[in-house]
Amino acid sequence: MLSANYKLTENEYTMSLAIFDLDNTLLADDSDYLWGQFLVDQNIVDADYYARENERFYQQYKQGQLDILKFLDFSLQPLADNSMHDLILWRTQFIAEVIQPILLDSAQELINKHKQRGDTLLVITATNRFVTEPIVNLYGIPHLIATTPEMIDDRYTGKVSGIPCFQEGKITRLEQWLKETGHHLNGSWFYSDSHNDLPLLKRVDHPVVVNPDEHLRQHAQNANWPVISLRDQQCPVHHLK
């Protein structure tokens, strides 16, 4: 694995769309799974049931066997069961206590270098927008495509609005966003850790694999994709010189 030190030419990297996965890519863990753990730890949900199901769905995700709609029925229900006031208080605590410690300096450096190049920065994630929006803001990334929890009369319903932002759904949601914003994939980049993101990695001009799972690592090696690490806090990102 490279320590984010492969080099690109100036012509290859000018005013492009730089797309980032979030969990286990820009973060040193999975915010969706950690939010579930946080709800258990705070006694907001039934501890035994929720911890068991949260772990079961997470293992299915890692194995590429996740039924996203069943998972969303599970993971979005606490949003429906609680007031917006309480949810925001809990989320603020979650960000401070759980997310802040797993932000990555090398990830911020990579983001900053894209920004310095004039690139358009975008996070695309299967984790729902309620959880991810403040995290993306911490990294200073202006655009987010995430799974969207349905809201009616200023209250979450526990259902998903539109297409879940997962696997092929990421491509569908991205294409909608491109059409709405006028951006394009010419010269585009996508950074991800997960084989679940192979459909989108295959669509961009510059796929970059970050601390990958074993399935994605093997694919990256066969496809000659760059494999980098953002976990080594002592190693600066050099590849965008």
Provide the annotated active-site residues. 21, 23
DSSP conformational letter for 187 = T
User: What is the Cα–Cα distance from 209 to 204, expressed in whole angstroms?
Assistant: 12
| Dihedral sign from CA coordinates of 127, 137, 22, 39 | negative
- Structural contact between residues 12 and 187, judged by C-beta atoms closer than 8 angstroms: yes
Q: What burial letters (b/e) apply to 24-37, b meaning 16+ CB within 10 Å?
A: bbbbbebbbbbbbb
Which of 20, 129, 135, 21 minimizes the C-alpha distance to 76?
129
Reduced to 3 states (helix: H, G, I; strand: E, B; else coil), residue 115 is helix
User: What is the Cα–Cα distance from 170 to 5, expressed in whole angstroms?
Assistant: 28
87: buried, middle or exposed (CB in 10 Å: 19+, 13-18, 0-12)?
middle
